[in-house]
A and B are shown apart, each in its own frame.
Chain A
Amino acid sequence: MELLDNLALGFSVAFSFQNLTYALLGCLLGTLIGVLPGIGPVATIAMLLPITFHLPPTASLIMLAGIYYGAAYGGSTTSILVNLPGEASSVVTCLDGYQMARNGRAGAALSISAVGSFFAGTVGTIIIVLFAEPLTRMAQKFGPADYCSLMALGLVAAVILASGSVVKAIAMIFLGLLFGLVGTDVNTGAQRFTFDIPELSDGIDFAPIAMGLFGIAEIVVNLERHLTRTGGTIKVTSLWPTMEEVRRAVPAALRGTFLGAALGVLPGGGPTLGAFSSYTLEKKISKNPGQFGKGAVEGVAAPEAANNAAAQTSFIPMLTLGIPSNAVMALMVGAMIIQGIQPGPEVMTKKPDLFWGMIASMWIGNAMLVIINLPMIGIWVKLLTVPYRFLAPAILLFCCIGAYSLQNSTFHVMQVAIFGVLGYVFVKLGCEGAPFLLGLVLGPQMEEYFRRAMLLSRGDAMVFLQRPISLGLLITTAVLLLLMALPSFKRARKEAFVEEEG
């Protein structure tokens, strides 16, 4: 069977000593940042992009993926033990996880969350394996016009599921697209928006933008808010849950896994949405909803499984179609482009070792994380006591050295400073960075496909409506845009994100 052959290839790649090391390194780093409040996965991956520049492509993507799902595990640890969500996706875990810990069930909550996450990660990986080939085959039939419409749909859908004002988010996409145009025009060689700066003729490098917008801006905002840590640390006793707890957690984790996996595939979806939705679902179908918020096992098992399943399945659109569905995936696309790999259906056919190796390593990484998180829990708790005033300057320093190492030029360090300021302005004005990043990553490709489509159709824009695939995608985009204008949908969207902001 072809599928098994592919998986065998993947595991042989992932089990090489080098890739195992990078997977472990990624998982450790991910857990670390998940535990430390104030540095999210987006900021970390942004700041580590320069390092991956010096690694082989497979190893670098394996490491970045490890950081991504490692952060999900680490975030749940702090949610349960100190009531501090390291990540947005583990905010809901705080509600019942911390209460369980206060009732003396900290160990049980931790192991349920870790094992639930592992199970969800396994299912998520299987889903990627099953969907990757059909989706890739479908994507290979796409013409330039279809691709252009697909990207439009991806960008619009990402906005709908994100929080905040829709018009502003769409404007941010266009701003990102414009920034993506800086550099030499591929077709004519003309210099666009380069202001005669030679460093800009290859375009603005992706890594300094991401580091500035997410890394620096996040540090500055944290310094402003003066991060303080409250709440006593809770001692972990036995890691074993009782039979009763297991009986209640298993079905909840199952539901969380499938809901999370489904939501992860959607553009704009991902771990946070998955966790929130599954918590709401559990509360709705529970026989005694009054227990939620007071230490209900279901309230830990379901969202933890959901955020991990979603973290896995959100790789599907990125790996098969080259369309990132959230900021982390946009960074992964950026990392691939830095390595000279154009994300899209060709990755699977032309670089099967990279594609399947990465998928296999996700499962290995998930297994590593259970070990990293459960027996080593004490070390992570200790890390919580490192004050932010030591961390912030250190992170800044690594950012600067990382930016310099991209091309051994201080020009990139200055770029980080500029985009740090821009990122700060975005935060202050309530403009989200994620749509900007998606636009930036997709901009050059989208222009390329658009121009090619128009050339093939001899300048007739109707081509986008005449090709059935493109038409279908555009209709979906239009329906989504119309939906957003409806008041009832607006309200529902607002409600879905209310808890998150609190």
Chain B
Amino acid sequence: MNRFLSKDFLSGLMFIGFGLVALYFGQKLALGTPVRMGPGYVPRMLSLTLLGLGVLVCIIAVVSGSEPVERPKWKPITLVTLGIICFGLLFERAGLIPALVVLIMVASLAGEEFKLTEVIGNIVVLSVLCTLVFKVGLGMNIYILRGVW
């Protein structure tokens, strides 16, 4: 196993990455003086520390080794994220039901078992439940199906 593909080394890189991004976008913020700190003083301090810690994590990882990263399974994380994004895009434009149907469909595909009848049952139950709870019960100002209700 490559020692650079370890959990710790990669997290070190992640910290360094975040530190650099924060430094880059924080460079325009005024630093000020220790007495009257500008908006950039604390962010600068924090990003430099994070950068330093990231380097430290990397060094420790290379010197003493750490666990290898588990190979990620792309299906669940991609489909779940995709489902949420679709929901976000559809919710206001099309209404609760279309957004719900897409989210449940996509999210159910993320699991290992997918039975269409079960998923449809799930969708029906959740549609009724959500309409009753959020629209009727809590009186939220949302569309159930845009243009209809």
Contact = CB atoms under 8 A, between A and B. Distances in A.
Contacts of B76: 220, 223-224
A416 interface: yes
Contacts of B37: 187, 451, 454-455
B81 A389 contact: no
**Number of chain A interface residues as a range:** 35 or more
B51 to A, nearest CB: 10
A371 interface: no
A55 B21 CA distance: 38
Interface string B70-108: 101100110011011101110110001001100110011
B130 interface: yes
Contact of A190 (B30, B50, B77, B130): B30
Contacts of B15: 171, 174-175
Given A400-B84, A410-B88, A459-B33, A193 B43 contact: yes
Dominant SS among interface residues on chain B: helix
A156 to B, nearest CB: 13
Contacts of A400: 84, 87-88, 91, 99, 103
B126 to A, nearest CB: 6
A401 interface: yes
Contacts of A330: none
Given A178-B43, A451-B37, A389 B104 contact: no
Contacts, number: 177
A243 B35 CA distance: 69
A119 interface: no
A192 B39 contact: yes
Contacts of B46: 174, 177-178, 181
A391 B60 CA distance: 40
Contacts of B60: 167
Contact of B77 (A193, A405, A424): A424
- Among B22, B87, B92, B118, find the residue whose CB has the most chain A CB atoms closer than 10 A: B87
Interface in A157-212: 165, 167-168, 170-171, 174-175, 177-178, 181, 185, 187-188, 190, 192-193, 195
Given A405-B134, A429-B8, 4 more contacts: A195-B25, A224-B73, A455-B35, A459-B33
Interface of B: 7-8, 10-11, 14-15, 18, 22, 25-26, 29-30, 33-43, 46-47, 49-50, 53-54, 56-57, 60, 66-67, 69-70, 72-73, 76-77, 80-81, 83-85, 87-89, 91-92, 96, 99-100, 103-104, 107-108, 110-114, 118, 122, 126, 130, 134, 138, 140-142
22 contacts: A165-B8, A165-B57, A167-B57, A167-B60, A168-B11, A171-B15, A181-B42, A188-B30, A190-B30, A220-B110, A226-B111, A392-B110, A396-B83, A396-B107, A397-B126, A410-B91, A410-B92, A413-B91, A429-B10, A430-B7, A431-B14, A459-B33
